[in-house]
Amino acid sequence: MYGSTELAEVRERGKEGVGRTRRRIGAPQLPLLHPPSAYRLPAYNAPVISKLPRWVWLGAWLLSFVAGMVNVVGLLGFEHDPVSHLTGSFTRLGISAMHGDIATLWTLALLIGAFLIGAILSGCLIQTSALQIGRHYGTVLLLETFLLMAAISFLQHHSRVGFPLLCMACGLQNAMASTYSGAIVRTTHMTGVFTDFGVLLGQMLRGSPADWRRICLFGSILGGFLCGGAMGAVIFPHLAYKTLLVPAALTGIMALGYVLFDMSKRQSS
The residues spanned by each domain of the chain are 54-263
Q: Does CATH number 1.20.1250 belong to domain 54-263?
A: yes
Q: Which residues contact 72 (CB under 8 A, 6 or more apart)?
A: 228, 229, 232, 233, 236, 243
User: Of 6-10, 40-44, 256-260, where does mean pLDDT reach its minimum?
Assistant: 40-44
Q: Which residues contact 145 (CB under 8 A, 6 or more apart)?
A: 248, 251, 252, 255
What is the value of pTM for the model shown?
Answer: 0.77
What does the alpha-carbon distance between residue 184 and residue 182 come to, in Å, rounded to a whole number? 6
The fraction of the chain above a pLDDT of 70, given in percent, is: 75
Write out pLDDT tens, residues 21-76: 545 555 455 555 555 444 444 444 555 555 667 777 888 899 999 999 999 999 99
